[in-house]
Chain A
Amino acid sequence: MAHDNHDDLSKHVKTYMKIGGWLIFFTFVTVGLSFVELPTHGDNLLVGMALAAFKATLVGLIFMHLNHERSLIYKVLLFTLVFVVGLFVLIYLSGQNPLHFGGFEGVTPGH
């Protein structure tokens, strides 16, 4: 890792403070935007979650050093991410049943 150099580290410390500032700024933005009534509440949710995801990415990349980590850790996280998304999406869809069987051509179910 590049952190063995002290000058480098002091530079990093400044970055950390700057990122902290940005995070606080985006917190204000998130709160403000939640009071703006977008066309649907779903849009508000989308914007709010996008901002949160952006903030989380900043924390992950800068504070948790994921911007320069070993490939092994990326692999582990990638799989975890895939499974979490699977958990979200599949559970959500199983409650929605997004597709319906429309019957064979010319035959309407129930007749």
Chain B
Amino acid sequence: MEIPYTRTNRPDTGLFNAKIGIWLFLASEVMLFGGLFSSYIFLRVGADYHWPVHELTLWPGFVNTIVLIVSSVTVVMAWANLKMRKIAQYKLCMWVTIICAGVFMCLKAYEYNGKFHHIGVKLTDGTILTGHFPEEGYRVKLKGGSTVTLNLQTADPAYFLKWCVTPNPQFKTEAGQPQPLDQQGALMAFIDALVPGDHDSSSLGQLRRDAAAKDQKSVKLTATAPLEFAVKESKTFSHTATSITFRDGTVVEGASVEDKMTLQVDKVDVRSSLDEDKALAWHYLGDEWKKAFEEHSKEEAESHKKFDPRDERYLRHVKQMEIHAPTVAEHNTQHGGKHSAEAHAPGEEHAAGGHAAHYPEIVIDRKDVAFWSSFTPKWNTYYAIYFTLTGLHGMHVVAGALVLFYFLVFDGRRLKEDPEHLANRVEVGGLFWHFVDLVWIFLFPLLYLL
């Protein structure tokens, strides 16, 4: 049995099966990205914050645009060469296309990595500071940890012990018995989550059974020596002045909890500040930086006179300042003459570590922070749609490159025996590849430029 019209065109439609198939598939892809683009419009039109324009570092996006255009040319040339049976050129073109895909994804990874480590902090008065955390990150710190209360239904010792800085913590029960907190294996934990019933043979499992027999919901353990914790905020449920509640329900009590955020500031944005003169940022950065900011504002206001002061473009230049040095003096010498409209994401060039030498470091009280996040989907809807669009597009790049790679490397027999069929396949793969390029043609200006 053979399916008709896999190689040749059906006379009345003039098409082979895969050609119809790929165009239908692309039609559904158009709807997929159409849905995403219309989400972009909806979010941008309805945004209640200053939509970022020219905020992303330009060059990786620009290079990627060129790379994709080149790959688009080579993939269609690969098809034409195969049609003409110029096998060497066909192979060369295909390799170039696949390498282009690789370059594209590497640059993408570089960009993403920068954003994962870049932090935005919105203070309670609406001022936004961006920058980097020191290497250890932002941690809620607990000192002199003495007791741990485990919620027996949900507790997961590995979950909270991961954040214990004190090496080798030991616990004893209220009765004074030593109580090890070993954890059941990951596999067993998974089975436990899926299949009701008690499969846990670890010490915690035993503890749980003992407590259940006594109708206890939780159990309190005492540390044999004071413990220190430094916890990622997202792992905590809440904390008080002396205790931290973890997301698994575990409560650790101690002498004191300190919740301060160290930030190496690379940009100040007062566009949403309640009162920019008294902005909280100056409380932390100091008057010298405030003065520098005012000078910067004045300069920018002068060069953007033609705009209405409510215009986004005016605000973007006048009410924001990038910081390029640890002190005001250095900042002025380094950046004195430079106030072009060209903006680049500060600090993304050096993804992690070593920022202290470049930026002023401040320590912010957590209670002054309304919201903070790295530049991930959490930071605002612009970054959310940025990651969704480019992430999905990146997956298409990978999928397209894999398909082309398959045709090039694993379809050798077809190349020898039935090159016409392979040409059809390459054509169809190429159509997908062009579509991927086409999407990027819209993505690049929408996300990087406009």
Contact = CB atoms under 8 A, between A and B. Distances in A.
Q: Secondary structure of the B side of the interface? A: helix
A12 B80 contact: yes
B274 interface: no
User: What class of interface size applies to chain B in its complex with A?
Assistant: 35 or more
Nearest to A37: B313
Given A56-B438, A64-B434, A84-B30, A30 B449 contact: yes
Contacts of A109: none
A39 to B, nearest CB: 10
Contacts of B76: 16, 63
A77 B449 contact: no
Interface string B1-34: 0000000000001110001100110010011001
Contact of B449 (A13, A19, A37, A48): A48
Given A10-B84, A30-B445, A88-B37, A59 B450 contact: no
Contacts of A87: 31, 34-35, 38
Contact of A56 (B20, B31, B38, B441): B441
Interface in A1-28: 3, 6, 9-10, 12-13, 16-17, 19-20, 23-24, 27
B83 A84 contact: no
A96 B41 CA distance: 12
Interface in B37-65: 37-38, 41-42, 45-46, 53-54, 58, 62, 65
Contacts of B437: 59, 63
Interface residues of A, number: 47
A103 interface: no
Interface in A35-61: 35, 37, 41, 44-45, 48-49, 51-52, 55-56, 59-60
Interface stretch (B67-75, B119-127, B176-184, B402-410): B67-75
| 3 nearest A-B residue pairs (beta carbon) | A20-B73, A34-B449, A84-B34
Interface of A: 3, 6, 9-10, 12-13, 16-17, 19-20, 23-24, 27, 30-31, 34-35, 37, 41, 44-45, 48-49, 51-52, 55-56, 59-60, 63-64, 70, 72-73, 76-77, 79-81, 83-84, 87-88, 91-92, 95-96
Given A37-B307, A52-B445, A63-B430, 7 more contacts: A16-B77, A45-B450, A63-B73, A72-B15, A72-B20, A76-B23, A87-B34
12 contacts: A13-B80, A20-B72, A23-B69, A27-B66, A31-B62, A41-B311, A41-B313, A49-B446, A56-B442, A63-B437, A87-B34, A91-B38
